[in-house]
Amino acid sequence: MKIVQFHNPGSPDLAPHKGMFDENGIEFVQYPEFLTVEEQLKNCQGADAIATSILKFPREVIEKLPDSVKCIVRTAMGYEIVDVDACSERGILVCNVPDYAMEEVAAHQVALIMALCRKLKHYDLFVHSGGWTRQSMIHGYECRRISALTVGLLGLGRIARNVARVMQALGASVCTYDPYLFRETVEGLGVRFCASKEELLARSDIVSANIPLSESSFHIIDAEAISRMKDGVIVVNTGRGGLVDTDALVEGLRSGKVKAAGLDVHETEPFFDTDHPLMQMENVILTNHVAFQSTEAARELEYKAALYAMQGARGEIPAGAVNRQCRQ
């Protein structure tokens, strides 16, 4: 058996678990991720399982993979870089690691919410520029008491539930729109159930996206959605960049409809455009897709990805399989 990992420095590394592969009679090979399609297919020859971080596996690649491939593991929460339908048609399992950084992403989301609510960037820049008067309080947008605010969570999965618990502990009200949950489940968590996205947008002082990126969720926060929000809303995104229409958000910020925004993920990554309007706005906090980061999360991710790759290579169905029905 053979596991092939496409890997670059800084991305999750399965090599520390080579001992586990050796004990199970599995050969482990690494290749760089920046390859031509021809090189990618050549390096997949003889593989029983494949692990990838950023190297995409579209239909045209999957259709040409050798018959030996049983499983593709995305070493991340998302799996949008792998064509799941094409894999299912060939009986290839697709795995992700959806639960390795629940605490970290929730903490980052809460940190963005709190930093924006308390205008920390504004005050930090004021002090660093030599200011030290209460004039800083009257500039920029207004601060609101946390207990006076409603946090609207689009989606109430594991990360969002952690966010809800923390924000409730700080006194905020929390509501959610999640079409996959029953009212009883939501209300049992002390969260207000919204029957539609529109209801959530109208109720919330802070809107945060906590759903996977798909065709149906792409630009779920667009110009129309922003128009339905309260005046002076705060928008936060630690999910996927494509959930928010960047141009619409910029217009919302310019008009004042959106008073502040915190983004860890961006429609275009890496986000290097220093001339982009978001880069110039004092009421916007940008981080570089690092909400998942911690030493503990990295170790957990690498271990689970290695375990799923090994199980997939042996023909088993790992816990992280997203299309297990193709084997049933």
Question: Active-site positions?
Answer: 240, 269, 289
d(CA 179, CA 239) in angstroms, rounded, equals 17
Q: How far apart are CA 32 and CA 178, in angstroms?
A: 39
At 281 the three-state DSSP class reads coil
* C-alpha closest to that of 24 among 239, 315, 314, 227: 314
> Which residues on adjacent β-strands are paired with residue 77?
none
What does the DSSP assignment read for 193-249? E-SSHHHHHHH-SEEEE-S---TTTTTSBSHHHHHTSPTTEEEEE-S-GGGB-HHHH
Q: Are 75 and 302 in contact (CB under 8 A)?
A: yes
Q: At 82, which amino acid appears? A: V
Question: For helices 102-117 and 120-128, what crossing angle results, to 10°?
Answer: 60
CA angle 45, 48, 52 (to 5 degrees): 80
Selection from 119, 312, 152 nearest residue 225 by Cα: 152
Question: In sequence order, which residues have a C-beta less than 8 Å from that of residue 199 and are 6 or more positions away?
Answer: 177
Half-sphere exposure of 18 (CA within 13 A, CB side): 9
